[in-house]
Structure 1
Amino acid sequence: MKKVLLASLAVLFSTLVNAQILKPVKWAYASKRLSKTEAVVLIKATIEDGWHIYSQNVADGGPIATSFTFSPAKTYSLKGKTVEPAPVSKFEKTFNMNVKYFEKSVIFQQRVVLKAGQPVIKGKLEYMACNDSKCLPPEEVEFSVPVK
């Protein structure tokens, strides 16, 4: 009986060790005060070689665009929309269209108007990572960025 139990545990352990959870994108957050009443929130994606994430501006029928949702608060308000640098634009067979995406790294920026105290900008982002052979399911990530 012990041998069967040990064999079962060995199979389970090897399965768990061999199972890889792909996380090709790492996110980092910062803020920078521009004045007493304004700041910019910086949201950086570092993307593993061979992978990419999509722009905020993707046509219908394409991949899941990167998007940002900021939680409302009395201590700040958003100023304009989240901006991004110029993306790569390329035809992708998977979607049968030109798509805009980022490789290696990208920094998204959101300006905020500061209303009181030391605000903490909270929200969530959604993105989808793909490589030349597959796309991972869209993922949501919550963030919290103090403005000092």
Structure 2
Amino acid sequence: MKTIITLLFISILTITQSKAQILHPVTWSYAAKKTSPTEAVVLLKATIEKGWHIYSQNVKEGGPVATTFTFAPSKEFSLVGKTAEPKPLTRMEKVFAMEVSYFENAAIFQQKIRLKKGQTTVAGKLSFMTCNDEKCLPPDDVEFSIPVK
């Protein structure tokens, strides 16, 4: 019995330790604001821990994974143009042997929509890759659902 309890304790400790090592240097938050009765802007904000960065939507082939936004089709709204991003920083990254555009600290992406009804929910998925000066984490996909009232 003592052996079973010891093994159980070691298993729980191992699981706890492995979960503590998973890095999540980027968190996402969402909002929407109506600009008129028939238009709104959906805001997708990345908050990035110090020392980390995510990449622009505009990355050349052979570079890191670009940040992308995929919006679920809806009969209640239509997208107006492409998702806008703030002005990124640009630097040469040895790992990719090219100049890349990226964001540090925070970045707010904006998507204009045309409403067909007064209220809706904008759903979709975003994909991004985050790196620091030592390593890159695998690309991550995050689903979102943003009410527009």
Aligned partners of 1:94 and 1:4: how far apart in 2? Answer: 48
1:74-89 superposed matches below 5 A: 74-89=75-90
How far did residue 3 of structure 1 move?
2.7
Does residue 125 of the first structure (1) align with residue 132 of the second (2)? no
Secondary structure at 2:11 match in 1: helix
How far did residue 8 of structure 1 move?
1.4
- 1:144 paired residue number: 145
Normalised TM-score (structure 2)? 0.95
1:109-120 superposed matches below 5 A: 109-120=110-121
Aligned partners of 2:14 and 2:58: how far apart in 1? Answer: 40
1:99-126 per-residue CA deviation (whole Å, 9 max, x = no partner) reads 1100110000000000114111111100
Secondary structure at 2:145 match in 1: strand
1:95-114 superposed matches below 5 A: 95-114=96-115
Secondary structure at 2:42 match in 1: strand
Query: Aligned pairs, how many?
Result: 147
1:1-49 per-residue CA deviation (whole Å, 9 max, x = no partner) reads x232222123212212221211111000000100011100000000111
1:1-148 superposed matches below 5 A: 2-19=1-18, 20-148=21-149
Counterpart residue identity of residue 5, structure 2: L
Counterpart residue identity of residue 10, structure 2: V
Give runs of ≥4 in structure 1 deviating > 4 Å.
none
126-135 vs 105-114, which moves further: 126-135
Unmatched tracts of structure 1, length 5 or more: none
Aligned partners of 1:3 and 1:95: how far apart in 2? Answer: 53
Counterpart residue identity of residue 37, structure 1: T
Q: CA RMSD in A?
A: 1.0
Aligned partners of 1:17 and 1:144: how far apart in 2? Answer: 30
Aligned partners of 1:135 and 1:3: how far apart in 2? Answer: 43
61-70 vs 127-136, which moves further: 127-136
Question: Is the contact between residue 128 and residue 141 of structure 2 (CA under 8 Å) also seen in structure 1?
Answer: yes
Secondary structure at 2:36 match in 1: coil
Aligned partners of 1:104 and 1:57: how far apart in 2? Answer: 19
